[in-house]
Amino acid sequence: MSSLKFGTSGLRGLSADLTGRASALYATAFARHLLKSGHAKPGDLILVGRDFRESSPAISATCIGALKRAGLTPIDCGTLPTPALALYGLHLKAASLMITGSHIPADRNGIKFYRPDGEIDKRDEVAISEEALAIGDSILDETSAEAENRTAETEALFLQRNKDLLPSGSLAGLTIGVYQHSTVARDLFGEVLSHYGARVVPLGRSERFIPVDTEAVSAETIRLMKAWAPEHGLDAIVSADGDGDRPLVADETGEPLRGDLLGLIAANFLGADVVVTPVTSNSGIESAGSYAVTRTRVGSPYVIAGMDEAIAAGKANVMGFEANGGTLTASRFTVEGKPFEPLPTRDSFLPILATLYAAALAKKPLSAVAGSYRLPFAAADRLENFPVETSAALMAYLRASDANLADFLKPVAAVASKSDIDGLRVTLVDNRNIHFRPSGNAPEMRCYVEASSESEAKNLLEQGLGLIGAWAAARV
């Protein structure tokens, strides 16, 4: 179980380490935490959902068996988006587990945990880990089990939420491609978009799991979208990551839009008064709407904590989003004269619908809508299979002294200022930004950049990744 750890969103690790005893261990630990903390009592319902990874059905069945033996009543919600599971949990006031590795490689998996009132926080993570440690190597029944299936009921609630968001027929005249790959959101996207009058073109459905990272869209995914867009005369292409909580939107040319731009469009669509977003989101967000902005560390628990603080301070119309585009709502909003209930977990449907609606209202290509925000050009990518120990050593070196940081970045530009909220975000003397941050979910080193032009951003990103790689190679 050495690879298993809590990251920016739930427990993650190698599928081989999570399958079997480990999944029974953490499901049991979560159940004990719920019962001890008063978030559940014996016999209460607890929901279990999963993504399309090869390992997910077995892990789900093991968790269901462990939850039953721990004294709870599991409900099998099948393969569906994480926000749909979370919404049904809030509706029933029931805890839930989502078996998913989100966007990370297919040989990995994870578990996302929800209390009856929403996503767990960092204190819950500590408590669950302590319960797992207390169980330790003691005998633990790993027998899998089945449970009552409520996939249809869970999906119906989520579909109704999204079918009530926009005016009837508001996407009529648009031709929208749905890159289906292996996301659990693929069929629901088609149903919702068709409901609003769009012509839907299914694309790239796969029975093999494909990890799609919406924050660092791969060259292969971009190549596919740029081919599909003219071939099918598309106005946009939409998709999501494996568990459907991070959106992907490409314009009429197949060029992907930044996730934080999608979140920003959703903020303006909702009429937000407070926006909570991580330090990795575009620096132009503060000036792109009439709202107050709170910056946090990367990860939905930190965004949720920021939203909770705003609510506790008496603020209304509070929402948040991550740089990957996953959008969260903490307040009840009024949209088109109807209430839109809070869903304080990442959701891909809200930002996608808000963005397509913005293009429909403007009667302009999606590229023109995106360009109208005039945000600094941003780019992000990562070095995969980058040892966690090497990431930690690099960050320790860069933080050790200003001289180390200046020397590291000397081939690029001099340092003007830096921020250490999460990773190191550096403003260079020429006003470009570069941000180094180890992934919280996988052995990857991430680099985020901003510049005044797309070409400058791409060049800076290439330089940043090159510096990371060269530093690591020099250590070998």
Q: Which residues are catalytic?
A: 102
3-state secondary structure 405-465: HHHHHCCCCCEEEEECCCCEEEEECCCCEEEEEECCCCCCEEEEEEECCHHHHHHHHHHHH
Task: Give the integer Cα–Cα distance in Å for 454 and 436.
Answer: 19
Residues 326 and 101: beta-carbon distance below 8 Å: no
Angle formed by the axes of helices 454-475 and 388-400, to 10°?
100
Kind of pairing between the strands at 175-181 and 236-240:
parallel
**E strands present in 311-432:** 318-321, 327-329, 333-335, 338-340, 343-347, 377-383, 415-419, 424-428
Name the phi and psi angles at 257, rounded to 5. Answer: -90, 145
Going from the C-alpha of 118 to that of each of 115, 202, 244, 311, the distances in angstroms are 5, 32, 17, 15
The secondary element (H helix, E strand) that includes residue 50 is strand 45-50
Beginning with the edge strand found earlier in the chain, give each strand of the sheet holding 274-278 in spatial order: 292-296, 274-278, 318-321, 327-329, 343-347
**Lookup: tokens for 461:** 């990103």
- The phi-psi region of residue 347 (left if phi > 0; otherwise alpha if psi is between -120 and 50; otherwise beta) is beta
**Lookup: tokens for 413:** 């530009």
Task: Give the integer Cα–Cα distance in Å for 244 and 180.
Answer: 11
Residues 245 and 82: beta-carbon distance below 8 Å: yes
Name the phi and psi angles at 448, rounded to 5. Answer: -120, 140
Residues 380 and 406: beta-carbon distance below 8 Å: no
